[in-house]
Structure 1
Amino acid sequence: MDTIILSDWLAARLERGTTEPMYRQVLRLVQQAILTGQLAPGTKLPSSRTLAEDLDIARNTVLRVYDQLTAEGYVLSTTGSGTYVADTRPDTAAVRARPVARAGNAGTDASATPAVAPAAPAHAHLSARGRQLIARAGVAPKQWGAFMPGVPDVTEFPSRTWSRLQARLWKQANPELLTYAPGGGYRPLRRALSDYLRVARSVKCTPDQIIITTGIHQSMDLAVRLLTDVGDRAWVEEPCYWGARSVLQSAGLVLAPVPVDSEGLNPRGRALKEPPRLALVTPSHQYPLGMVMSLARRRTLLEYARQHDVWIVEDDYDSEFRYGSRPVASLQGLDEAGRVIYVGSLGKTLYPGLRIGYMVAPEHLVETFRTGVAELYREGQLMHQAVLAEFIMDGHLTSHVRRMRALYGERRQILIDAIAARFGDSLPVMGDEAGLHLVLGLPGTADDRAITNAAFDAGVIVRPLSAYYSDEEVARRGLLLGYACVPHERIGPAFDTLAGVIEKQMEEGGVRAA
């Protein structure tokens, strides 16, 4: 392509009167011509004056384009000689070099590879752990509505109180609140949380032991990275929260599912003979089934961890919401050997988008975790942490939890009554004593995944219980129904829709309720 054709080529493609500036259009088109070979290496570009006249645009626009092309390496400019297209073609020797043989392509002749490879399935580009993560992902396309589990009613959040506290802090314009968060987070928040956790959860800690994170996932990830190596074994409850399972597997840990019964985690036989490096438990409210780990099991687990150098990550995700009895004390409060890493979040208590969580590290690991969180994640959000500290210290958190516990308790009862009215005792209700969801049991031959998909199409969100199991052979069938984010008047109609789906799916599958 010579310079005269370049002018004509550009003129035919420029769009006058559009929102894209002329400079951006000319730059984009010339770059395209160079990258596609329509302007070959060594081609001399017209002078800025000539190109400006041919295109009827300002010369300064062309000069700006040429300067940018030179800065990005598309052209070479020589004073007194002109502007030429640079040779930006890939190094042929490097492109055709024989790659190191990898599993599945040993002996492949790289020179025979076609210029354009055929489109591969999306999963083919992923690592082995990436494929595993995506294949078992539990994230839902919708995060709000009946009966989405684990979601609080964010419409009840005291936003005016929060806004007032936030406005006051912004007026102070403290530069220290706009930078990174050293030392494990905003100290007044760590002090407020330590006071709250000691009273509400019987956690033994000082402000220095608290590390602020973006939530339970990050807390788990930090603990795994600092305390385990790839290939280490980790106990997880069977069933367990899919997000925790994903965090541990993505870090290269080998998961060893341990069954739970009415008293919580119940390791037996081979599991006890092969101590893990780490155990992840939800002792105060097992997720998703809802049982509480008995005191005997707690003491046994703590002693086993002490004897076999096992780290315990205690996920205390929504234990403030217990109905009919006081919240159960934390496992960490019984730990005398410094083996428990306690993790929690304000997402279920306040609102998920807050993205502020915390971990309580054993005293001998405090500096390690402080360094780790700063090195890996470069924490910030100090302004939000400062607002939250004020919110807690002024008593708003305690009063909000008390109010929401009563509200969620009412919604829980409405849902239980709706289940009983439709199914009587034929379908059991499990895990309703605490938290933001309950489990509706289904017959063992029912397909809870198919029911979940059909319910979604009908406008109702539930999760299949079987998806929380690692072993499909032992998986129980059921549905997780969240009630916290559903207004009182919507619970009955939404459950009627779900019940219709359940009955239709069970009828088509030849399944009868017990």
Structure 2
Amino acid sequence: MRTLYADHISERLQLMQEGTLQQRLLKCLQAAILEGVFPPESRLPATRDMARELGVSRNTVIFVYESLTSQGYVTARTGSGTWIAATLPESCLQSGETLTAVTANANPLSRLSKRGASLIGHATASPHQWGAFVPGAPDVTAFPHKLFSQIQARLNRQPSVDRLIYSSDGGCPDLRQALAGYLRIARSVKADADQILITEGIHQAVDLVSRVLCDRGDWVWIEEPGYWGTRNLLRINDLKIHPVPVDDQGLVVDLPAGTPTPRMIFVTPSHQYPLGVHLSPERRLQLLALAKRHNSWIVEDDYDSEFRFSGQPYPSLQGLKADAPVIYMGTFSKTLYPALRIGYMVVPKALIAPLRVAASELYRGGHLLVQRALAEFIEEGHYAAHIRRVRLLYQQRRRFLCKLIRQYLGDRFLASCDHDAGLHLVIRLPRGSDDVAIAALALRRGVKVRPLSQYYMQLQHERGLLLGYACVNEKQALRAFGILKSCLTDSGISLC
């Protein structure tokens, strides 16, 4: 295997012309690690062996290995050699420059398209989806897996043919019917089962409406700051993105003259992501009026509205007025578990037929057996019971984390506009703080947070950290918070 490593690097080196030997060797190894050619926790050849097989000096290889170590790509184990890191720092994973450059030079015939390069270059999806303090991660261990498995096993014994073929009617009819009833009561959504389209999550839903309802070059509004996943999907579909600021009442609807007219407006009105504010009643009415005036579609992402821990829940924007130009989106990724890959859309009746056809053409619907099991899970009251249980659990964990922040950092670090809801909270950092560097430092020490600045499109001075609490028990939270506190002080931030 070690010889294969050297062979792979040797091939890449021959196709790279720019830079010194050290720079080219470093780029080749970085790209091989990022692409997974050299798997995590695998051992690199010894510096002497690598130098001999590449025909370079050992000092050159030592320099490159030391650079990789300092950047977090590899770890050096005394007496055991150099090993690829089990998890790479997010700063490495988010940098598309090295990967794109090396890939292009290594094989000119397989260069990425401009669209592909843009997608890779703007990718911000984290490989870290569990543990303290991953934002938005539910406690997947709290789900009643045994009960759900029993429902699935019974339904799978003699499945009907219509659950084993492609779906072309928007998903399992039983699940659409169950959702219509649930959403009508829980979220004041006005829709029947025929208006519901089952998707594989919010990303697929955003991709679908962007392709079907927008032309290349159309303007779309998104929240600033806002969810990077939506932003990247809109970009890859060649839409022009206008970031609209968010204040303590949500999306700022009254914009100055010259603001481009939107074809679509993407909002998270019940719990803005990532700041946590809700769209005020006055703004909701203004937004609906604006959309009707400009013949725009509002896309309402209701990603975690079930988790409100105090006060009255905010009803959906979709149900506020009859015939509202709103496409309502939801997901089971936060309420159940992300790997389930089931979401849904509630669309105006005029759109359901073309969207069903487009979804069938683009994605080929399936997973009907799982969808039928989920329908029964909802119909028998298990879903509502599960929501009640985890709501109390997450409330307790949120309060514990807030207590730690107030005790060890001070009230000024808690965002004043953040409401008592959701699966994460935001720690505000002083102006001039480098939240990206702090997040990278925390990751190297085993704590996973996300920098607030990465959720903005435009340059601004807001700095902070997103901390998820849902999947972290109090013992884990206490330990992880101590590490995060040391990262803040080591970064020169004055605490209380």
CA distance in 1, matches of 2:438, 2:230: 24
Q: Could you report, residue by residue, the CA deviation over 1:144-163 in whole angstroms, capped at 9, with x for unpaired residues?
A: 10000011000011011101
Partner SS state of residue 418, structure 1: helix
Q: Could you report, residue by residue, the CA deviation over 1:317-363 in whole angstroms, capped at 9, with x for unpaired residues?
A: 00100011232100001143441100110010000000000000101
Quote the residue 2:451 is aligned against. Answer: 464
Alignment of 1:225-374 (within 5 A): 225-270=211-256, 273-374=259-360
Quote the residue 1:442 is aligned against. Answer: 429
Q: Structure 1: which 4+ aligned runs deviate by more than 4 Å?
A: 120-124
Quote the residue 1:401 is aligned against. Answer: 387
CA contact (8 A) 2:408 2:495 kept: no
**Structure 1 residue 136 and structure 2 residue 122: aligned?**
yes
CA distance in 2, matches of 1:300, 1:346: 30
Sort the Cα spacing of 1:453 and 1:369 in 2 relative to 1 into closer, same or farther, 3 A. Answer: same
Partner SS state of residue 237, structure 1: strand
Partner SS state of residue 215, structure 2: coil
CA contact (8 A) 1:306 1:337 kept: no
Displacement of 1:380 in angstroms is: 0.3
**Bigger mean CA offset, 333-342 vs 359-368:** 333-342
Quote the residue 2:25 is aligned against. Answer: none
Displacement of 1:194 in angstroms is: 0.5
Displacement of 1:271 in angstroms is: 6.3
Displacement of 1:512 in angstroms is: 3.8
Alignment of 1:209-220 (within 5 A): 209-220=195-206
Quote the residue 2:42 is aligned against. Answer: none
CA distance in 2, matches of 1:316, 1:378: 25
CA contact (8 A) 1:462 1:480 kept: yes
Quote the residue 1:148 is aligned against. Answer: 134
CA distance in 1, matches of 2:366, 2:171: 8
* Among candidates 483, 490, 493, match of residue 504 of structure 1: 490
Amino acid of the residue matched to residue 277 of structure 2? M
Amino acid of the residue matched to residue 234 of structure 1? V
How many positions carry a matched residue from both structures? 393
CA distance in 2, matches of 1:123, 1:484: 46
Amino acid of the residue matched to residue 382 of structure 2? H
CA distance in 2, matches of 1:284, 1:400: 21
Q: CA RMSD in A?
A: 1.9
TM-score, normalised via structure 2 length? 0.77
Q: Could you report, residue by residue, the CA deviation over 1:427-465 in whole angstroms, capped at 9, with x for unpaired residues?
A: 223525111000000001100000000000000000000
Displacement of 1:513 in angstroms is: 5.2
CA distance in 1, matches of 2:256, 2:110: 36
Q: Could you report, residue by residue, the CA deviation over 1:67-118 in whole angstroms, capped at 9, with x for unpaired residues?
A: xxxxxxxxxxxxxxxxxxxxxxxxxxxxxxxxxxxxxxxxxxxxxxxxxx99
Displacement of 1:121 in angstroms is: 9.0
CA contact (8 A) 2:206 2:230 kept: yes
Amino acid of the residue matched to residue 374 of structure 1? S
Partner SS state of residue 430, structure 2: coil
Quote the residue 1:479 is aligned against. Answer: 465
Sort the Cα spacing of 1:354 and 1:178 in 2 relative to 1 into closer, same or farther, 3 A. Answer: same
Quote the residue 2:84 is aligned against. Answer: none
CA distance in 2, matches of 1:476, 1:267: 21
CA contact (8 A) 2:424 2:469 kept: yes
Q: Could you report, residue by residue, the CA deviation over 1:339-397 in whole angstroms, capped at 9, with x for unpaired residues?
A: 11001100100000000000001011111111111111111000010000000000011
Displacement of 1:475 in angstroms is: 4.5
Displacement of 1:485 in angstroms is: 0.6
Quote the residue 1:180 is aligned against. Answer: 166
Displacement of 1:273 in angstroms is: 4.5
Displacement of 1:124 in angstroms is: 9.5
**Bigger mean CA offset, 313-322 vs 127-136:** 127-136
CA distance in 2, matches of 1:489, 1:306: 51
* Among candidates 405, 417, 423, match of residue 419 of structure 1: 405
CA distance in 2, matches of 1:479, 1:242: 15
CA distance in 2, matches of 1:229, 1:241: 22
Amino acid of the residue matched to residue 455 of structure 1? A
CA contact (8 A) 1:436 1:482 kept: yes
CA distance in 2, matches of 1:130, 1:267: 33
CA contact (8 A) 1:228 1:277 kept: yes
Partner SS state of residue 184, structure 1: coil
CA contact (8 A) 2:413 2:428 kept: yes
* Greater Cα radius of gyration, structure 1 or 2: 1
Quote the residue 1:383 is aligned against. Answer: 369
TM-score, normalised via structure 1 length? 0.74
Fraction of identical pairs, as percent? 50
Amino acid of the residue matched to residue 465 of structure 1? L
CA distance in 1, matches of 2:295, 2:105: 49
CA contact (8 A) 1:236 1:280 kept: yes
CA distance in 2, matches of 1:340, 1:513: 44
**Structure 1 residue 208 and structure 2 residue 179: aligned?**
no
